[in-house]
Amino acid sequence: MTHVVTPHPRPSFLQAFLRSEALGGYVLMAAALAALIIANSPAAPLYFDVLGSKLGFQAGPIVLRETVLHWINDGLMAVFFLLVGLEIKREVLDGQLRGVSRIVLPGIAALGGMVAPALIYVLINIGSPETLRGWAIPAATDIAFALGILALLGSRVPTSLKIFLTALAILDDLGAIIIIALFYTAQLKVVALAMAGALLVCLFCLNRAGVTRLTPYLLIGAVLWYFVLKSGVHATLAGVALALTIPLSPRNAGKPGAHSPLHDLEHALHKPVALLIVPIFGFANAGVSFAGMGLASLAQPVPMGVALGLFLGKQLGVFGFAWLAIKAGVASLPRHATFTQLYGIALLCGIGFTMSLFIGALAFTDAANVDATKIGVLAGSLASGLIGFLLLRIKPAAPSEDVAHQAAS
């Protein structure tokens, strides 16, 4: 009997995404660890001086002069938000979030995962109007870190749960974008905002006119970023706005080998963002000096609110809302998954590194609260990641898709 050897299919976009995000999570972990080591070494003054030094230029009325830290947080992270926007658009129109049935469970879980951490933070900081501004810090999940940990677990976690976590994190990012736009916007400057609005209309007109070349979108997007920066709305939201205008329909639709502009740009950005931009952000924002700090420092309202929001709030919100939805018959437990594994995923959702640090930098301008935020994010994320990993590692896995298929045959 002759066995026909079929070639291995090319990895799906989801598989490529999971691998890229997992690798990015490892690089981000290394960058954050390096920042902590340097910030607590003799090189600390140089580290903070470089981040605080100003760079920029002036060309007539155009003035761009910011600190290195602001260039990273406002400039490089705009590219990160562009990628996030592309992922959201693709998943909603042509991916895991397309259709009500697919979005119900991750959507409900994401809602719980934003509400519960925020409530815990507010309850701990209720007596301090100044620190209440940080209520949204523990409401975010870091997909790179979480998928990096899942990659270490291999086949012990079914693919359905990895898809669930990815969809939840994307919805989580969407919620964070809305929160930033509504609650962390400075005093608006009407002229700059009007210019940004006009450029956004131009981008939508390009889309409606069927323009599929990326160059005009990116050139107008760069100018859009400048005016959004000057408008008082956080500059990174320009990346999201640009992403929504990038066409999803392929160039030369119907012809063999047709390419979608959105997919092309998303593919081009994935590795640079995961392996360079996000680690640079982590390196620039994770550095905090532990000199003179003890357990009492963690007991202060800001770090305690952030840490408990991430560790307790995320697991209670994500698992609690998902459990209620499944028991009520509104949604189904992901295939080949157990409630214990779902709880482990909910724990991993408490890793809030990138977006939590980002929102913390918007919420607070004083060094004390910024450092307190970092301590809370590091503590809550570390506890969530470690316990989530141990639970998923120790708990016997349910039969995977491959095992189930073999048994059936």
Question: So what's the pLDDT on residue 11?
Answer: 44
- Give me the residues paired with residue 62 across strands: 59
Predicted confidence at residue 21, as pLDDT, reads: 66
Query: What's the confidence (pLDDT) of residue 232?
Result: 85
| Crossing angle (nearest 10°) for helices 143-153 and 353-363 | 160
CA angle 334, 338, 342 (to 5 degrees): 70
Would the CA dihedral through 223, 226, 232, 234 be positive or negative? positive
pLDDT on residue 356: 92
Please say if the pLDDT value at position 218 is more than 70.
yes
Backbone angles phi, psi at 60, to 5 degrees: 65, -125
Q: Report angle CA 95, 392, 33 to the nearest 5 degrees.
A: 85
Q: Do residues 68 and 53 lie in contact, with contact meaning Cβ atoms separated by under 8 Å? A: yes
Share of the chain above pLDDT 90, in %: 53
- Pair of tokens at residue 401: 């898709």
User: Residues near 27 by Cβ (< 8 Å), separated by ≥ 6?
Assistant: 274, 275, 278, 279
Mean of the per-residue pLDDT values of the chain: 86
> Would you say how long the chain is, in residues?
409
Q: Based on C-alpha coordinates, what's the Rg of the chain?
A: 22
DSSP 154: G
Closest CA to 176 of 146, 135, 131, 230: 135
pLDDT digits (tens, 9 = 90+) for 97-129: 777 777 899 999 999 999 999 999 999 999 888
Q: What is the mean pLDDT of residues 198-212?
A: 95
At residue 61, what are phi and psi to the nearest 5 degrees? Answer: -75, -10
**94 vs 333: which has the higher pLDDT:** 333
- DSSP secondary structure letters along 80-140: HHHHHHHHHHHHHHHSTTSSHHHHHHHHHHHHHHHHHHHHHHHHHHTT-TTGGGGTTGGG-
* Per-residue pLDDT tens digits for 39-93: 999 999 999 999 999 988 887 777 788 899 999 999 999 999 999 899 889 888 8
Q: Does the pLDDT at position 203 exceed 60?
A: yes
Q: Can you give 296-344 as a three-state secondary structure string?
A: HHHCCHHHHHHHHHHHHHHHHHHHHHHHHHHHCCCCCCCCCCCHHHHHH
pLDDT band for position 255 (cuts 50, 70, 90): low
pLDDT tens-digit map of 154-188:
778 888 888 898 889 888 888 888 898 888 887 78
